[in-house]
Amino acid sequence: MILKFELFQKRYCELDNNKLFLFYGNNFGKAQYCATKIVSYFKKKFMYKPVFFTSSDFSKRSFKEIILNYDSDDLFGNKFLIIINVENKFSNKELIEIVKKNTLKNLKIIIKAERLDKGSVLRKSFETINEAIIVPCYEETFQEKIEFIKEEFDNDSLSIESSNVHALANFFGNQRLEIDNELQKIKVLLKLQGDLGSNFVKEIPNTINFDESLFVFNIVSGKDKNFLAQYQKYTEYEKNEMRMINALIEHFFKILTVKNKISQGKTMYQSVKELRPPVFFKLEKEFQEQIRYWDQNNVISVIKELFNIQKKFLAGSTSSNSDFLFLIMKIMRKNF
């Protein structure tokens, strides 16, 4: 049964007897939200225990074996939820067979995917089962953004005027992950300030318009637009360069990890999808370009230099700041 997102929000507490759930779409934050809602509901009402998997786990273990393990009668009366993150091309014959048979006893299966094509065997198998719940997760509407903002503030017992909610909804894009990330920053800011005064709306552009992940991507891709201003924001006006060093180290380690997986025979698509935390889907294409461009030896050299500069900062070296900026220039110019 296909449910629109707004209908799922109203009816998820009525789905006690359903055992199969599929949340998919280009708005993965919404799919994650739906999965979290249903997991929390079953945990609270029926004491279900969640168990998390990715599609790569099924290359190591039989899916039937996993199902048998978690759907069997438990000595302690435990019931389980299996939550699986899958990729677009994922197909597992055992999973498809289990979905089609729809003979689970107590186990519930929740599948999240960023995107599933119309031709996806997994998607088709769910669509043939009336008891299976399917929620396509598309970009946020303005009203959905308003409701999500209100919910997030309510969860933290923060009051917010309707005009400010609308201001935030206007500033935000249409991806729930992005919205959630920005809301977390704003809520921290508001808690520190202790009120929602007139400065609140003034702080919105400064908080939202700076995307930290994108800034790191821009450096590695050699894009230098507004570099100095963004560098100062990221480092809290050059008071916390270590934060940026760590972000760059993490980013280059991701590139190195993918390169290693590819050398072991995996596809680039699969290797990128297996990264945890994942690369935001809007940046996947650029990330793949970085993987193609950056030679493995150069990546290792950058990581070594970043660690060396990290040591200089920790040792209080007076040249650490200028050395770091020089290294960033080398990275942006790919001068290795």
pLDDT for 31-49, tens place per residue? 999 999 999 999 999 999 9
* Residue after which a domain boundary falls, among 209, 230, 255: 209
Specify whether 279 is located in the same domain as 197. no
pLDDT for 176-188, tens place per residue? 887 887 787 777 7
Specify whether 225 is located in the same domain as 204. no
* Residue after which a domain boundary falls, among 119, 136, 153: 136
pLDDT of residue 237: 57
pTM, two decimal places: 0.63
pLDDT of residue 207: 47
CATH code of the domain covering residue 69: 3.40.50.300
Q: Quick one: DSSP state of residue 65? A: H
Specify whether 147 is located in the same domain as 78. no
CA neighbours closer than 13 Å in the CB half-sphere of residue 114 = 15
pLDDT of residue 277: 73
Closest CA to 83 of 120, 46, 57: 57
Give phi and psi for 334, each to the nearest 5.
Answer: 55, 45
Closest CA to 196 of 234, 168, 237, 169: 168
Specify whether 104 is located in the same domain as 188. no
Pairing of strands 79-86, 48-54: parallel
Specify whether 302 is located in the same domain as 260. yes
pLDDT of residue 88: 63
Specify whether 185 is located in the same domain as 127. no
CA-atom Rg of the chain in angstroms? 23
Token couple for 267: 């596809």
Specify whether 10 is located in the same domain as 114. yes
Specify whether 205 is located in the same domain as 236. no
List all residues 6 or more positions away from 44 whose beta carbon is below 8 Å from its beta carbon: none
- Give residue 224's domain range: 213-333
pLDDT of residue 179: 86
Specify whether 321 is located in the same domain as 231. yes
CATH code of the domain covering residue 320: 1.20.272.10
Token couple for 289: 């370009």
CA pair distance 6, 17, nearest whole angstrom: 20
Pairing of strands 48-54, 20-24: unpaired
Specify whether 58 is located in the same domain as 109. yes
CB 111 within 8 A of CB 104: no
CA pair distance 303, 220, nearest whole angstrom: 12
* Residue after which a domain boundary falls, among 190, 209, 228: 209
Intervals of the chain under pLDDT 50: 205, 207-210
Specify whether 91 is located in the same domain as 152. no
Total structural domains in the chain? 3
Specify whether 106 is located in the same domain as 217. no
